[in-house]
Amino acid sequence: MLWNIDLTLVDVTRVSRGAYADAFRRVTGRPLVALPKTAGRTDSEIFFEALAVNADGSAGGQDLLASYTRELEAAFAARLDQLGAQGRVLPGAQEAVAAVAGLPGVVQSVLTGTIRPNAMAKLRAFGLDQFFDVEIGGYGSEVYPMGALLLRSRGRASEKYRTDIGADATVYIADSGRDVEAARMGGARSVAVASGRSTAGELRDAGADVVLGDLTDTEAVVRTVDHLTSPVSTG
């Protein structure tokens, strides 16, 4: 069971934008005038696209990305005290992850484009880290597309728990069309929540297996996860 973090579980957009801008300026020496779309993208994708949309002439190599990643971690760490004041847990999120954690045989982790230190900070700030096995998660610290991150996460889970966790036993709950695409590429079922910038119609058009308006109906979330991971649901 994999959960996206930003705009699925929490909204810390203002804090993240400040950290992006600070890290970009420190690495390139230029202001971040235009922030590219972030939904369903990893931090490395966001950085390279930011270089393009801001007409920055820096060579976008791995060394530059490594510098940016370090600065992004530092910039976010400097803003930890802002998370509670400027961020929030989305309605029903804590109740949903707690309830799903109680399902027999379920292991929960996160699949996020955020680099791991910042992902952990977001979860800890709102007391959500207790519900996840973060060691098997997928993070933007790894330079892979989200679909590949999902496959790697499932592989880590299978190895750690000594069982073959197949595609039919994997569900990804997230909020964007790109997340739905990542689930499809990684062979997982997808639950799309219209709590981000994508409408319910857009998420259905993207091919989500189930679309929810939000996470406030805890019983509906649990039923959905149970249904999608049952043998009957895969036909």
Rounded percentage of the chain residues whose pLDDT exceeds 90: 76
pLDDT at 106: 92
| CA atoms of 211 and 205, how far apart (whole Å) | 10
Across the strands, what pairs with 211?
192
| CA atoms of 97 and 172, how far apart (whole Å) | 12
Amino acid at 98: A
| CA atoms of 184 and 168, how far apart (whole Å) | 11
Quick one: DSSP state of residue 138? B
Q: Is the pLDDT of residue 116 over 90?
A: yes
Q: Long-range contacts: 199-203, Cβ < 8 Å, 24+?
A: 202/177, 203/175, 203/176, 203/177
Q: Give the mean model confidence (pLDDT) for residues 226-231.
A: 82
Mean pLDDT lowest for which of 119-123, 199-203, 231-235? 231-235
Mean pLDDT lowest for which of 6-15, 53-62, 85-94, 105-114? 53-62
Q: Is the pLDDT of residue 33 over 70?
A: yes
Q: Give residue 196's pLDDT band: very low, low, confident or very high (50, 70, 90).
A: very high
pLDDT at 55: 67
Helix 62-77 × helix 116-125 angle, to 10°: 20
